[in-house]
């Protein structure tokens, strides 16, 4: 009888914990939805402000293009969060920045080599070289 009562208590504790977990998950989902809706509202506010502050119509097509790209990213942001795509993109950006610094190092090495080559060829300028 005691074991039956112990099993019922553990089952009720499990149900209680599952209920709390589900409640927290719903709160998390609602907060994410609220955050996403805030982003969409801010996007349209920014779009309205930028479009009204433009002096001519000549820039409007460019602004619409880039704001359209931003709108796509805004609508896809929940998918990025679900699939952890944001972390992957950040890691790709960090690796690209690594390549950028490596490219700068190679450019500096090339400049140093070019300067040393010019110094060496300065000695030969003005001298005739016979084959």
CA distance 79 to 9: 40
With a cut of 60, say whether residue 30 has pLDDT above it. yes
Q: Mean pLDDT over all residues of the chain?
A: 78
Q: CB of 52 within 8 A of CB of 25?
A: no
2-53 vs 60-82: helix crossing angle, rounded to 10: 170
Please give the pLDDT value at position 9.
61
Q: Give me the phi and psi of 38, to 5 degrees please.
A: -60, -40
CA distance 76 to 80: 6
Closest CA to 75 of 96, 45, 44, 50: 44
Q: What pTM does this model have?
A: 0.46
The band of 93, judged by pLDDT with boundaries at 50, 70 and 90, is confident
| pLDDT, tens digit, 9 for 90 and up, residues 59-91 | 888 888 888 888 888 888 888 777 777 777 778
60-82 vs 85-124: helix crossing angle, rounded to 10: 120
CA distance 110 to 119: 14
């Amino acid at each position: 009888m005691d074991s039956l009562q112990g099993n019922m208590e553990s089952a009720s504790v499990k149900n209680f914990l599952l209920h709390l977990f589900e409640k927290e998950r719903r709160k998390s989902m609602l907060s994410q939805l609220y955050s996403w809706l805030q982003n969409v509202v801010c996007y349209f506010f920014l779009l309205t402000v930028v479009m009204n502050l433009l002096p001519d119509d000549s820039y409007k097509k460019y602004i619409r293009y880039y704001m359209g790209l931003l709108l796509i990213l805004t609508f896809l942001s929940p998918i990025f969060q679900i699939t952890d795509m944001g972390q992957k993109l950040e890691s790709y950006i960090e690796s690209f920045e690594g390549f950028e610094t490596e490219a700068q190092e190679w450019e500096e090495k090339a400049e140093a080599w070019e300067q040393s080559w010019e110094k060496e060829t300065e000695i030969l300028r003005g001298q005739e070289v016979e084959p």
